[in-house]
Structure 1
């Protein structure tokens, strides 16, 4: 990959420079750096580490009475950072939730500093912060190491996966999405997540520092694995693997058999074009009956194409989450998909040639998240969507405004979805049946984004739906209205 990239730099103007940062001398050597060109950065001094730790730990605590005593202890803790800024930031985040001398001393005197750890200088402070997490939050963090380094995690995607794994609890009536947000914020507060992409005031993506990723892999051991496909058969080599990421080179197809995969709970794929053949998927669905999560959405090349979902998918009775996003040649979903009664999340974003949703989709009574954003060939939602009363989020809904019949999902049918918090929908029809629209009853909806078909006026839909006070309401992704009476 570097050889291909390096060719482009030959066209640079005279005097151009390339600055590369790395912690691995071998990387610098591969890139052609000579010894005299390498600048070895020294670690931070104790004062610099203390400055980072202090600013993080005392944020918002300017009037803390015991600050002088805590600063004395904090300087000693800063020396344990061994000049590593990430360690100082993590420890500062850990100390921010502690305000007494005894609590700070417990960090300074922890037995963890004495453990014989791999990469002890950084893993010891990370371990202190890790053990401060509630047990289910630890599981959420460790799950993130299934994905490769520098992966850009989608916030909604990862919290939906936590839900599918059972990390957020199992009460079907609880607002588990709020539990996911709470756990996410705890991990942010402990500095396990960074590099946030924020849009319209909401976090859409984030990353793990690569050292934090290494730390998670160290703790997870054999439970999480990544395998590269080199033939039609793949072996997991361990009965301990429960979560597997399969990398498929552009020249290969997905394996027709995965040895030792019977106990897998999670399968995530990185594939090239046309790699997911129907034959391979049939074999997968027949042998991996314990899967709770399937994610086929991660591409290696410019296109990721799952052309067909075989009927055998209906055998995955434990499945909670399936992501088929950007399967651009996918035209239909099998009715057997609706036999997966435990399914909670169905992601079809970017399946631009998908023409129909299954007619029996109303059987998926546990579905909480449905996305058909970018499904441009989809002309309507089936009427039975109204039966999915567990839905919390629907993205890309197609909603009939001019009538309420027994074939297509309509504005009136929104009134059945009592737990709906967020909906982004296209309103179709040349007019609005205001009497039917008032049945939508959007009192529990917190976010409503509407794409209007020609012939429907913005003012008319606002009047007909009468959105409640406090709702985030808009007609475009980048433009939200402040309606009269809203907060």
Structure 2
């Protein structure tokens, strides 16, 4: 009980420090920019934009053409897709991650000469997190009429709507920019749209947002996604901020130019990163200072972090508490790490970052998967390929900034970690001073990255485990010098996530009893201990498929969610009845050797009808009878079915009951 209280206090202390720093930086930005947490109106200043000529031209044609001025060309119409104008209003969302230049692009459009001449009235409203229809409409009026306009903020919503209608009905074409819109607006979007609609076209609303959910909700035509700048454009932007010009005189700045180019290549094309880092370099115009910045991780520089947090802090504050916790945890992974969604979600679950739904009917993995998808939608994670994701360095800088009291990546050149660190990643190497690792205690996470040939790392890790009895997540994968199970592992009763893949332990045994996730990739099928079936809480077991099929009494793992292959046998521990109580199985299941099943009754022992999470099922055998297949009737949720070796001439009755498969 006391240990639990101490853990809670540690967490609260660390979290409070994080939020104090974040709020301090956000407050500073509000003072400098004249913006706060409230919806405000402001006149955007003229800014310089790089590398957006094509998208700028396209948006200008949309904005000017949609309100009846210029006819749209066929190429523009092709990019727009089908238009769905609502009440004479065209809505164009610009969507992308923080720092990619959405607001800057909107400012250029707002201040463009053609736009000024085309729209008799323009309004700019900075929405941010605290959205309300009334407040947004009032700030729109203020932007239209000027800051000295006389209206009462205590007016009713009906009065405000009438005032808005009077203005937009009288003044003809109208451009409204809603800058920095978040998910809270979605529920009230239709009300806002109703307030500004009119019978004749001529109203264009330009929305900037990080949220794909917002973009999907508001768009009346194709969205405008902004990606990081290509190198040529980004390099010009970087030079502009670092040297004050895009055409640097090489003779006078040869060394700085070469160093600057190497720094710029670490920034991955984000205009905000070019601006922040360029301004920093411009204030430190010596070769020594530039080399020092080049050799460091730019997000570790306090000056850079202080400039980035105000811009990105709003997006972080918009997250729910659980989302913040999960996002901050991602900071311990190295830069350019490719995230596996399921693996990361399993780590979150192991730390109780994911809460069960009130109804209790949804699995934690599904809740965590949805949370991850929401982070992707909000640009906190970016899709790398079909199964992997990546966190941009600028986003990672934010994660590091809000989690430094709890999460830390220890490397050869690391600065001193906070004593409150609970989640630790070790980038091991032969140059790492291993004795420094003994200082870490009371850890909840240890992840290993890199390669180490020293056997001393094993003793150091065991000592760390002895001082971290409450550890939940432990990843020792690819540590080839690990040939014996560490003595202290068996006593880790709170360990839930354990990865020993591609280690070389000769005798796998003494697994902690409360494991929920176990990785043993790379181990031969005859090296997996049969005692693994005693891990009753195991939800995910990742071993080679052939090894999994040799584990007797696999049915004792009733919470297991993946079973790629089950080979039905005649011996106890391998009979079809083993999978009877494995109701959590999901994804794809292949059951082979089904020809040895003797009757419908025996086949029904598999209880396939109750396995509602399965999506695909393969049934394999030789000359399989209809009676056997009758007993293997799957749950109606099944999407794909494959039967191999079926010997009867007629289908089982359940296949004729209107069951709809997407693939058979």
The Cα shift of 1:349 comes to: 2.6
Q: What's the counterpart of residue 189 of structure 1?
A: 377
Distance 1:410 1:73, change over 3 A: closer
Q: 1:5 maps to what in 2?
A: none
Shift of 1:465: 2.9
**Structure 2 residue 492 is the aligned partner of structure 1 residue 470:** no
Which sections of structure 2, spanning at least 5 residues, go unmatched?
1-47, 64-79, 108-127, 129-176, 196-204, 210-301, 644-654
- TM-score, with length taken from structure 1: 0.66
For the residue of structure 2 that corresponds to 1:382, the secondary structure is coil
Q: Are residue 412 (structure 1) and residue 577 (structure 2) matched?
A: yes
The match for 1:340 is 513
Q: Deviations over 1:416-444 (max 9, x none)?
A: 12233345457468834454332111232
State the 1:403 CA deviation.
1.7
- 1:151 deviates by 0.9
Q: Is the partner of 2:385 in helix, strand or coil?
A: strand
More helix by share: 2
The 1:415/1:79 distance shift into structure 2, 3 A limit, reads closer
- Pairing 1:266–2:469 present: no
User: Which residue does 1:222 correspond to in 2?
Assistant: 405
Contact 1:94 1:129 in 2 (8 A): no
2:528 matched residue in structure 1 = 356
User: Highest relative contact order (Cα 8 Å, sep 6+), 1 or 2?
Assistant: 2
The count of residues paired between Structure 1 and Structure 2 equals: 404
- 8 Å CA contact retained: 2:410, 2:425: yes
Which of 546, 550, 558 is matched with 1:389 structurally?
Answer: 558
Output the CA distance in 1 between the equivalents of 2:500 and 2:527: 14
Deviation at 1:174, TM superposition (A): 5.2
Report the structure number with the largest CA radius of gyration: 2
Asked if 1:317 corresponds to 2:493, the answer is yes
Residue 332 (structure 2) aligned to one of 141, 146, 162:
146
Please list the CA deviations of residues 204-246 of structure 1 after superposition, one character each: whole Å capped at 9, or x if unmatched: 211112211112112222321111259xxx9964212111110
Cα RMSD (Å): 4.9
Task: Say whether the 8 Å CA contact 1:402–1:431 is kept in structure 2.
Answer: yes
SS of residue paired to 1:440? coil
Give the distance between the partners of 1:242 and 1:61, measured in 2 at CA. 51
Aligned mates of 1:466, 1:356 — CA distance in 2: 32
Map of 1:97-116 to 2, 5 A cutoff?
97=186, 99=189, 101=192
SS of aligned partner of 2:376: helix
Normalising by the residue count of structure 2, what TM-score does the alignment of the two structures yield?
0.50
Contact 2:376 2:383 in 1 (8 A): no
After TM superposition, the structure 1 = structure 2 runs for residues 76-115 of structure 1, keeping only pairs within 5 Å, are 81-82=103-104, 91=180, 97=186, 99=189, 101=192
Q: Is the 8 A contact 2:499 2:519 kept in 1?
A: yes
Does the 8 Å contact 2:444/2:471 carry over to 1? yes
Q: Hey, what does 1:157 align to over in structure 2?
A: 343
Alignment correspondent of 1:42: 50
> Aligned pair in 2 of structure 1 residues 353, 41: CA closer, same or farther (>3 Å)?
farther
Partners in 2 of 1:215 and 1:449 — Cα distance?
40
**Pair 127,330 (structure 1): closer, same or farther in 2 beyond 3 Å:** same
1:316 to 1:474, Cα distance in 2 relative to 1, 3 A:
farther
**How far 1:152 moved relative to its partner?**
0.7
Equivalence for 1:12 = none
- Report if the CA contact (8 A) 2:351-2:472 is conserved: yes
Q: 1:61 to 1:183 in 2, by over 3 A?
A: farther
Cα pair 2:332 2:423 within 8 Å, conserved: yes
- After TM superposition, give the deviation of residue 463 of structure 1 in Å: 6.1
Q: Could you tell me how far 1:158 is from its partner in structure 2?
A: 0.6
Superposed, 1:242-257 pairs within 5 Å as: 242-249=422-429, 251=430, 255=434
Residue 462 of structure 1, CA deviation: 6.0
Q: Mind listing any 5+ residue stretches in structure 1 that lack a counterpart?
A: 1-39, 109-115, 199-203, 477-482
Secondary structure of the 2:366 match is helix
Identify if the C-alpha distance between structure 1 residues 183 and 219 changes in structure 2 by more than 3 Å, giving closer, same or farther.
same
* Distance (Å, rounded) in 2 between the aligned partners of 1:457 and 1:274: 53
Deviations 1:324-369 (A, max 9, x none): 2233x344421x21x432x22112233336622342632x332221
2:604 counterpart residue number: 438
Contact 1:355 1:378 in 2 (8 A): no
Q: CA-to-partner distance for each residue in 1:281-316, whole Å, 9 max, x for gaps?
A: 43333222121101123x5xxx85643323431111
Alignment CA distance shift 1:402-1:183 (3 Å): same
Q: For residue 389 of structure 2, give the secondary structure of its aligned residue in structure 1.
A: strand
Residue 96 of structure 1, CA deviation: 7.5
Counterpart contact for 1:322–1:347, Cα < 8 Å: yes
